[in-house]
């Protein structure tokens, strides 16, 4: 099992950014007005179509075949998958074994809020 915050989980398990796609289902973000957008989920039957671990592994193996950074970037844009050394483990499932640690995420959000407040408060005082 991998339990960490979202950016670390993406890097460790070979998924792309959470802004681009979900690691558990096949939902992909649209890119509109220079922002990633997960809108368009009107039909509930399309919400949670699970990603396939075997397809993830095959795409990750495909990523390894490319030699240049540019070709790997193109491949990641098409598939949403990179290679991870954890994929060498025959029992590891990057879809089911990735757990997002809620406490870690909450601490990051709270510290971001405190730092933002501090910056605004210091600017007001000076």
Q: 57 in a domain, yes or no? A: yes
| CB-based contact 63:76 (threshold 8 Å) | yes
Strand runs labelled E in the chain:
2-4, 30-32, 35-37, 98-100
The answer to whether the beta carbons of residues 27 and 33 sit under 8 Å apart is no
Assigned domain for 34 exists: yes
Give, in order, the Cα–Cα distances in Å from 32 to each of 21, 29, 35, 38, 76: 14, 9, 5, 10, 20
Expressed as residue numbers, the domain containing 28 is: 2-100
Residue 118 is assigned to a structural domain of this protein: no
* Number of domains composing the chain: 1
56 inside domain: yes
83 domain-assigned: yes
Q: Residue 111 falls within a domain, yes or no?
A: no
**Residue 71 counted as domain residue:** yes
pLDDT tens by residue, 41-99: 666 666 677 778 888 889 889 999 998 999 999 988 888 888 989 889 999 888 888 77
Q: What is the pTM of this model?
A: 0.63
14 and 81 Cβ atoms separated by less than 8 Å: yes
In a domain, 125, yes or no: no
């Amino acid at each position: 099992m991998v339990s960490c915050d979202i950016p670390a989980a993406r890097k460790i398990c070979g998924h792309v950014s959470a802004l681009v796609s979900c690691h558990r289902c096949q939902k992909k973000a649209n890119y509109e007005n220079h922002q990633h957008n997960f809108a368009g989920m009107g039909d509930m039957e399309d919400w949670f179509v699970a990603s396939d671990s075997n397809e993830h592994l095959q795409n990750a193996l495909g990523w390894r075949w490319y030699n240049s950074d540019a070709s790997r970037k193109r491949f990641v844009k098409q598939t949403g998958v990179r290679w991870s050394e954890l994929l060498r483990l025959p029992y590891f499932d990057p879809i089911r074994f990735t757990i997002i640690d809620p406490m870690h995420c909450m601490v990051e959000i709270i510290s971001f809020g405190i730092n933002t407040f501090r910056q605004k408060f210091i600017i007001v005082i000076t």
